[in-house]
């Protein structure tokens, strides 16, 4: 027997039905806000990936040289390919450009619960606007996805990296060192953070300001007054006012959120609002979505263009639904099953299945079973209706229709089946 590669999975029919149903809900939600689907290659030039994520990511990639000697990598995420596509094809498109994607990604990491070497991402990118209403809409799309899927036990936390950057700017911290600080904040190591701030010469007043801001977490009415007091007289106040505008607009979308000014999203390209969504039942690896406002277009050779987006970890999202003991609700796709009572009626049964298939998904017995066993097959596969093709009924132009849920059965005129389409 051949084993599948480590960190990959096979999906049986029931699991694929759940995945496809969830995927359809994501797509429908994205499209309800006017986002259009795009697709990018499964592999990209290695320099595209390192341009966004740095050289250190190479050890976590599936990368190789192709037959032309080019360095290629299986995509580890989808934002960089989408930005490349935008720069190549869409820069002159009227703004904003609203895109969504769904695809598999690959990382060479140690497999664990909810983390695989092949995994799926779904997300959106809003390109060309940095207005508060755009940022609020992006968050609202993510929130609506979870509501439409029926997930209950989750938290949406929103912060603003622009506030943190302004505090550091006032202390004359260069941008590359700001990124080091933000990465440390993202790791959640307070002791390491304080040591780094000392080493980089961040003034005591600004250190205290930053550390106090990072502690602010809770409801908007509790957090914002404290933030305004801490930032009094600071250039960061402008960023805080902008952040308040986003939060105010989220109420119009009926989005429930927690303000968390300690979120840093340790990636260098984030510039403003950031958010993360946690599914509490997943334990330590509970983040199912992350995103925010960023600047990446110029990294790939385009004009400086504000952007905002997010990505869902699709596999963790499905796991969170399963842990709520509900999963994705899937209807049986086969609605009808056609069974001849005798094999000499097989061709007649096949003709009837062709007609019925125009009404809805239909199977025909392919095993030559006796009626009792054929009915057991339909029951085991939760097929709701069975057409029984009998010799006597055929003579009268009729077929028996049995409701498997109620046990009720009645004769149906075959000619009527073509009319009922």
Minimal CA–CA distance to 197: which of 215, 216, 217, 172?
A: 172
pLDDT at 421: 47
pTM of the model: 0.90
Minimal CA–CA distance to 269: which of 47, 53, 46?
A: 53
Specify if 330 maps to a domain.
no
The answer to whether residues 220 and 294 belong to one domain is yes
Question: E strands of 264-389, at which residues?
Answer: 270-279, 287-294, 307-313, 336-340, 362-364, 385-389
- What single DSSP character describes residue 128? S
The answer to whether residues 193 and 237 belong to one domain is yes
- What single DSSP character describes residue 5? P
- Domain end: 270, 294, 323, which one? 323
The answer to whether residues 395 and 262 belong to one domain is no
Specify if 25 maps to a domain.
yes
Residue numbers of the domain that contains 267? 13-323
Domain CATH for 385? 3.40.50.800
The verdict on whether omega for the bond into residue 96 sits within 30 degrees of 0, i.e. cis, is yes
Q: Is-contact 376 386, C-beta < 8 A?
A: no
Q: What is the Cα–Cα distance from 387 to 402, expressed in whole angstroms? A: 6
The answer to whether residues 112 and 201 belong to one domain is yes
The answer to whether residues 60 and 83 belong to one domain is yes
Tally the domains of the chain.
2
Q: Is-contact 30 100, C-beta < 8 A?
A: yes
The answer to whether residues 310 and 365 belong to one domain is no
Q: Splitting the chain (421 residues) into consecutive groups of 10 residues, what average pLDDT does each group show?
A: 94 93 96 98 95 86 96 96 96 96 95 86 96 97 97 96 90 83 83 86 86 94 95 92 97 97 82 95 92 93 94 95 80 89 96 94 95 96 95 96 96 83 47
Specify if 186 maps to a domain.
yes
pLDDT at 420: 55
Specify if 141 maps to a domain.
yes
Give the DSSP letter string of 55-90.
Answer: GGGGGGS-EEE-TTS-EEEE-S-SHHHHHHHIIIII
Burial of 167 (0-12, 13-18, 19+ CB in 10 A): buried
Domain CATH for 92? 3.30.930.10
pLDDT at 198: 84
Residue 419 exposure: Cα atoms within 13 Å on the Cβ side: 5
pLDDT at 125: 98
Minimal CA–CA distance to 185: which of 262, 287, 81?
A: 262
Q: What is the Cα–Cα distance from 300 to 302, expressed in whole angstroms? A: 6
């Amino acid at each position: 027997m051949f084993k599948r590669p480590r960190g990959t999975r096979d999906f049986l029919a029931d699991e694929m039905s759940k995945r496809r149903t969830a995927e359809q809900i994501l797509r429908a939600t994205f499209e309800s806000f006017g986002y259009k689907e795009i697709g990018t290659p499964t592999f990209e030039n290695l320099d595209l990936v390192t341009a966004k994520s740095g050289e250190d990511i190479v050890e976590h990639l599936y990368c190789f040289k192709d037959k032309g000697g080019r360095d290629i990598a299986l995509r580890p995420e989808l934002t960089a390919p989408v930005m490349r596509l935008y720069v190549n094809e869409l820069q002159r498109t009227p703004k904003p450009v609203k895109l969504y994607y769904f695809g598999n990604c690959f990382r060479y990491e140690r497999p664990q619960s909810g983390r695989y070497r092949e995994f799926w991402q779904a997300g959106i990118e809003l390109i060309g606007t940095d207005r508060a209403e755009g940022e609020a809409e992006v968050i609202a799309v993510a929130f609506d996805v979870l509501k439409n899927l029926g997930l209950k036990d989750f938290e949406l936390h929103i912060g603003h990296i622009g506030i943190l950057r302004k505090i550091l700017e006032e202390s004359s911290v260069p941008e590359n060192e700001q990124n080091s600080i933000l990465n440390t904040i993202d790791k959640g190591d307070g002791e390491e953070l304080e040591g780094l701030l000392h080493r980089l010469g961040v003034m005591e007043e600004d250190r205290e300001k930053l550390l106090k801001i990072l502690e602010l977490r809770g409801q908007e009415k509790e957090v914002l007054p404290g933030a305004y007091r801490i930032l009094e007289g600071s250039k960061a106040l402008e960023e805080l006012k902008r952040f308040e505008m986003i939060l105010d607009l989220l109420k119009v979308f009926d989005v429930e959120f927690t303000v968390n000014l300690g979120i840093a999203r340790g990636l260098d390209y984030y510039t403003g609002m950031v958010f993360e969504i946690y599914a509490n039942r997943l334990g330590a690896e509970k983040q199912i979505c992350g995103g925010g406002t960023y600047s990446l277009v110029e990294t790939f050779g385009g004009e400086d263009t504000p952007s905002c987006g997010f990505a869902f970890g699709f596999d963790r999202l499905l796991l969170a639904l399963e842990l709520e003991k509900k999963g994705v609700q899937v209807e049986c796709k086969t609605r009808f099953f056609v069974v001849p009572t005798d094999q000499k009626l097989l061709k007649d049964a096949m003709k009837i299945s062709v007609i019925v298939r125009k009404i809805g998904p239909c199977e025909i017995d392919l095993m030559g079973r006796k009626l009792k066993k054929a009915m057991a097959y339909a029951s085991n596969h939760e097929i709701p209706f069975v057409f029984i093709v009998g010799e006597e009924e055929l003579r009268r132009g009729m077929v028996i229709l049995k409701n498997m849920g109620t046990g009720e059965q009645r004769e149906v005129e075959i000619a009527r089946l073509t009319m009922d389409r």
